[in-house]
A and B are shown apart, each in its own frame.
Chain A
Amino acid sequence: MVTGLKKNKKKEKLTWVQFKQYIPLYLMLLPALIYLFINNYIPMTGIVVAFKKYSKKKGIYGSNWNGLENFEYLFKNDAGLIIRNTLLYNIVFIVLGMVVGVTLAILITDVMSKRLKKLYQSAIMLPFLISIVIVSYIVFAFLSVENGMVNNSLLKPLGLSPVQWYAEPKYWPFILTFVNIWKGCGYGTLIYIAGIVGIDPSFYEAARLDGATRWQQITKITIPCLVPSLITMTMLSLGRIFASDFGLFYQVPQNSGALFSVTQTIDTYVYRALISSGGIGRSAAAGFFQSVVGFALVMGANALVRRISRENAMF
């Protein structure tokens, strides 16, 4: 692409007449560029609000600087918890998501019946399309203290006393992990199915002639062939390890204060601080931290992916 451009430049210097034919194309680009400028670029500059004592009257750019005061407050109080939660959940999601995704992908590609194959694929993708608010209603149907299915139909017949699900932090790492995998595993599975379908079938034929069992074929052929896409997926998720799914951590625990110790992540913290009175400074500081570290991680992860497999890199 780059060489092509150079050739063009050598051949012809852009004259106004030539340039004129491209004007409609620039006009077609304009609305999208204006939108991205407003929606994405102005907030990028607004990130300086993290170093300011925001006053509504003076606006983002007019407010007085207050140095690192917002960060001092953030790191003295809440940073440890929200960073820990965000990182730990993401690590669990990445590892478990990969194990579940690869397992399901291998099983589904092995199914011989085409109809069943399609049924399974459709089923695992379905939760992906459901809004997290509705997911939180469904979780509530399971876990509501008075009416919940778990307390009424599972614990009661077993003679166990009901659990105050929305007040007991110890269960939530498992609940949130389950919900995340339930909702998200379709994505990974789909990617890995594409990877498996692309493996040269002659590998398996040769292995079968040598008497390899199905298990040996999986561990010696399928998984090694998936390694490049596994690495890419992991790198891309590592690049987003400071981001958390706001909906999952805010909606699914129903914003329950008793659970904050295990449900507060950077994204929920940014929102809750923003709407609390006087919290805008620490909210902006946490957001700044997330954006900048996130950017560094995405760049780092991409650089690694480029070294491993060039075609899977984002850029």
Chain B
Amino acid sequence: MINSKANRRYQVIINIVLLLVTVIMIAPLVLLFMSSVSSEASLLNNGYSFWPEEFSLSAYQYILANGQTIFRAYGVTILVTVVGTSINLLLCSMAAYALSIQKLPFRNIISFFIFFTMLFNGGLVPSYLMWTSMFHIKNTIWALIVPNFLCGAMNIILIRTYFMTSIPEALYEAAKIDGASYLYIFRKIAVPMGVPIFVTVGLFSGLGYWNDWTNGLYYINDAKLYSIQTLLNKMIQDIQALQANATAASSGAAMQIPTVSVRMAIAFVALAPILAIYPFLQKYFAEGIAMGAVKG
């Protein structure tokens, strides 16, 4: 069967189909990149295309030369991603470790308290009102870090399960007999052994922060605090405002709207780090998706 003619034909057919699927998956990203390296003239004449008439790096040169807003937004995104992901990992791994100790009194009640947040939520309106009127988070950097992304039940459960399955109970017992405290065991055993799950969970937490535009939409209208996704979102809004009402927008728009290729270049720059790390961390991405870390 393996070498039969029919099988070879079947292999050819499925490979053609899957290559086609691969093209469909990747082509839109190619179009984004090609639009960012098209000259403004060929964009205006022929629109966005997979092979522009005239290549030009002027969009990137423009970003380098005038890109204070963009660099700042990039910096905000990096800061938010690093700080948010670190705190997320810290909170989740500590909680997960405690819950992985089966003897912990009230363990089931606490687990349920955490798990219930996955089943029921108050929705946008109460959250929004709480963050803005109780915690006055609007237009602070915390608005990009704290709401929704700082710690999630899914991440705690994933790490707890990992601890429980990969660190045998006997190891704890042995360490306890040697007089080690739970804290010591956490630092010396659980953390080093948990590295693979930290990478997976951290990767998705980081991806969540990097890609998030909702917190910026809800809580930020100070241009100094725009993250790169918020900036991209605001550019669309400004263009819409401009189209809807030219006079109102010219006085209201916070910044000058960049040309089409510059906008595409900013979008590509925002995407580039993910494309750059993806090939190396593909295994962890795949594991994370399969485990459901995405929703964490």
Contact = CB atoms under 8 A, between A and B. Distances in A.
Interface of A: 1, 4-5, 8, 14, 19, 21-22, 24-26, 28-29, 31-33, 35-36, 38-47, 49-50, 54, 56, 59-60, 104, 107-108, 110-113, 116, 119-134, 136-138, 141-142, 144, 146-149, 151-153, 182, 186-187, 190-191, 194, 208, 214, 246-247, 251, 254-256, 267, 270-271, 274, 280, 283-284, 287-288, 290-291, 294-295, 298-299, 314-315
B61 interface: no
A86 to B, nearest CB: 14
B147 A14 contact: no
Nearest to B229: A133
Interface residues of B, number: 96
A110 B21 contact: no
Nearest to A108: B18
A271 B29 CA distance: 29
A173 B229 CA distance: 25
B115 A36 contact: no
28 contacts: A22-B105, A24-B181, A28-B94, A29-B99, A31-B91, A33-B114, A36-B113, A39-B150, A111-B11, A120-B22, A122-B279, A124-B22, A125-B289, A127-B25, A129-B285, A130-B211, A131-B212, A134-B271, A138-B32, A142-B48, A147-B48, A190-B290, A246-B214, A280-B125, A287-B124, A291-B120, A291-B121, A291-B122
Given A25-B98, A130-B274, A123 B151 contact: no
Contacts of B28: 127, 138, 141-142, 182
A32 B129 contact: no
A31 to B, nearest CB: 5
Interface string B253-292: 0000000100110010011001000110010011001100
A24 B22 CA distance: 50
Contacts of A1: 102, 108
Given A46-B126, A127-B25, 9 more contacts: A5-B108, A21-B182, A39-B147, A107-B18, A128-B289, A131-B211, A134-B32, A147-B43, A270-B125
A128 to B, nearest CB: 7
Given A24-B181, A28-B186, A33-B113, A152 B46 contact: yes
Contacts, number: 282
B182 A25 contact: yes
A134 B48 contact: no
Contact of B213 (A36, A45, A247, A299): A247
Contact of A123 (B25, B130, B156): B25
A131 B229 contact: yes
A247 B215 CA distance: 12
- Quick one: which of B48, B95, B289 has the most chain A CB within 10 A? B48
Contacts of A38: 130
A46 B47 contact: no
A14 to B, nearest CB: 6
The 5 closest A-B pairs by CB, nearest first: A46-B126, A43-B122, A152-B47, A287-B123, A131-B211
